Amino acid sequence: MGSIKHYLKEIGRGAVGARSLDADQAADLMAQVLDGQVTDLEIGAFALAMRIKGETVEELIGFAQAAQARCLSIPSEQPVVVIPSYNGARRLPNLVPLLALRLAQEGLRVLVHGPRHDPTRVSSADIFAALGLAPVADAGSVHERWSRREPAFISTEALSPALQRLLDVRWVVGVRNSGHTVAKLLQPISGAAVLRLASHTHPEFGKLMAEFAQRTGADLMLLRGTEGEAVADPRRCPKIDQWLGGQWRADLSCPAQEGSLSALPILPTQIDAASTAVYTQAVASGEQPAPRPLEQQVGLVLRALAQAGAAPSRQRTVGD
């Protein structure tokens, strides 16, 4: 049994007195947590300490490096869009499955990952299941979905059982932890260009994600999330930024929609999985129009992947 006590002394001094770790220290800390080398009490202390202190980009790079080393790798010879979905819906319908379906209809390989169920929100897994697209469990099943031009949803537990155990600490201590941030940065694809979608709800976290993209040479789309999900608000398009090879691309980004709305999109009146699935299928089949901001996001993804896929992979392993 290992110990992260010396790390807790650094990060556990409160919002003002806490000291940050470098990337190597952060990677070692997260590796011990994920490998079950520390006690439950230490894991709880780690979760709360980081919640109070907040991650630096160095810590995020180290945490992501450790998590990535313990993540399932799915090979692909074609570019892939990876969409993390860890927030679900509370007030607005969760349109992550619709975004995934639209991208798949455009001929892209799409992988969505997240929890199989969230007792407090309407998860993407629930909506995919209502659409007849149950979670897949391995790389072979992912490729089967792709061969049918369908998006694949895989649970965090299938990608990384160790990371799922860290996410489950939330239900004990009552708050999310660094594992939730790291989960949204997983890169489960090997052999091809990958565009990861990321979201933020606070400007400070958006700046952290931007720095992470630059430091790790990532291909990344970043937007203010709809209830934390990386899908454009169907009522008003948010600011969307994209990085290719860690370089911010103004030509692949767009400003936030300003001014008053001329019309509201047609959205389901209920946000439960069944109602959202019916709406999603209606839009995907062309029976109802897609929200304009979502279609704008689809267009930006297509343009970014066309350029990322045409160039040699530049994305570095986190921590390089």
Sheet with strand 240-244: strands edge to edge? 152-155, 109-114, 80-84, 194-200, 220-224, 240-244, 247-248
Query: How much is the average pLDDT of 209-217?
Result: 97
Find the range with the poorest average confidence among 95-99, 135-139, 169-173.
Answer: 169-173
Q: 265-279 pLDDT, tens per residue?
A: 889 989 999 999 999
Dmax (CA) for the chain in angstroms is 61
Specify burial of residue 194 (Cβ count, 10 A radius: 0-12, 13-18, 19+): buried
Q: 58-91 pLDDT, tens per residue?
A: 999 999 999 999 999 999 999 999 999 999 999 9
How are beta strands 109-114 and 152-155 bridged, if at all? parallel
Give percent of the chain with pLDDT exceeding 70: 94
Q: 104-137 pLDDT, tens per residue?
A: 999 999 999 999 988 999 999 999 999 999 999 9
- Confidence at residue 266, expressed as pLDDT on a 0 to 100 scale: 86
DSSP 3-state assignment of 109?
Answer: strand
Give percent of the chain with pLDDT exceeding 90: 86
- pLDDT over threshold 80, residue 259: no
DSSP 3-state assignment of 162?
Answer: helix
Domain ranges within the chain, ordered by starting residue: 5-68, 74-310
- Confidence at residue 309, expressed as pLDDT on a 0 to 100 scale: 63
The chain-wide mean pLDDT, for the chain, equals 93
- Confidence at residue 16, expressed as pLDDT on a 0 to 100 scale: 82
- Confidence at residue 308, expressed as pLDDT on a 0 to 100 scale: 85
Residue 265 · residue 279 · CB < 8 Å: no
- Confidence at residue 265, expressed as pLDDT on a 0 to 100 scale: 81
The class (CATH top level) of 5-68 is mainly alpha
Our measurement of the distance from residue 126's CA atom to the centroid of its chain's CA atoms, rounded to an integer in Å, reads 17
Q: Please state the length of the chain.
A: 320
- Confidence at residue 315, expressed as pLDDT on a 0 to 100 scale: 44
User: For the structural domain made of 74-310, what CATH number should be given?
Assistant: 3.40.1030.10
Q: How far is CA 250 from CA 125, 239, 253, 304, 311, in A?
A: 33, 12, 5, 11, 18
For residue 140, the tally of other CB atoms under 10 A from its CB is 9
> Quick one: tokens of 134?
């149950």
CA distance linking residue 192 with residue 123, whole number of Å: 28
CA-atom Rg of the chain in angstroms? 19
